[in-house]
Amino acid sequence: MQRIFHFCGAGLVANEQPLDALDRRILRELAGNARVSARKLGSKIGAATSTVSARMAWLERRGVIKGYGARIDYGKLGYEWVILVEIIARKGGIRESARKVARLENVFAVYDLTGETDCMALARFRSRAELDKFVKSLQEVRGIERTITHIVLNTVKDEPDSPRP
């Protein structure tokens, strides 16, 4: 039987069964350190290793845990330019243009929006020349009417795992 997650007044639920405090503690700890072993995690939150392993597997199967990874400082890899691009699509071109932009190499996020802007793309670049080439190439993407590019000057907060469960 497939379980479906949705939000209700009680919080995240699976087949009408809310995630309990242990599930939320596991998720909170993993959001802070995905490399922690089930044994260490269990010790920290006061649960048996087998219980933690079983809960993690269940959360993975249900798609609550999408994967485990490193937090990379792209600035230290030379990606000094971060941009946000507002995309205004031609009538009927929102989905197609968003999918095309999402496949571009430097793009790390694309969001459909409400309001005057149809979608927003976020991308990183190593140089102004790379950024310039990208911005101009967006005008060639079928379905895009126009774009408005914003260059990030300073990052005040960048916590992809926020808020913690």
* Per-residue pLDDT in tens (0 to 9) along the chain, 165 residues: 344 444 444 455 555 467 899 999 999 999 889 999 999 999 999 999 999 999 999 999 988 999 998 888 999 999 999 999 999 999 988 999 999 999 999 999 999 999 999 999 999 999 999 999 999 999 999 999 999 999 999 999 988 777 777
What whole-number distance in Å separates Cα of residue 21 and Cα of residue 2? 23
CATH of 5-61, one of 3.10.20.30, 3.40.50.2300, 1.10.10.10, 3.40.50.10860: 1.10.10.10
135 in Cβ contact with 149 (< 8 Å): yes
Which two three-digit tokens encode residue 150? Answer: 């914003």
Q: What is the predicted pLDDT for the residue at 28?
A: 92
Domain 74-151's class? alpha beta
Q: Other CB atoms closer than 10 Å to residue 118's CB: what's the count?
A: 21
The full set of domain ranges for the chain reads 5-61, 74-151
88 in Cβ contact with 117 (< 8 Å): yes
DSSP annotation of 108 reads E
Answer whether 5-61 and 74-151 agree in fold.
no
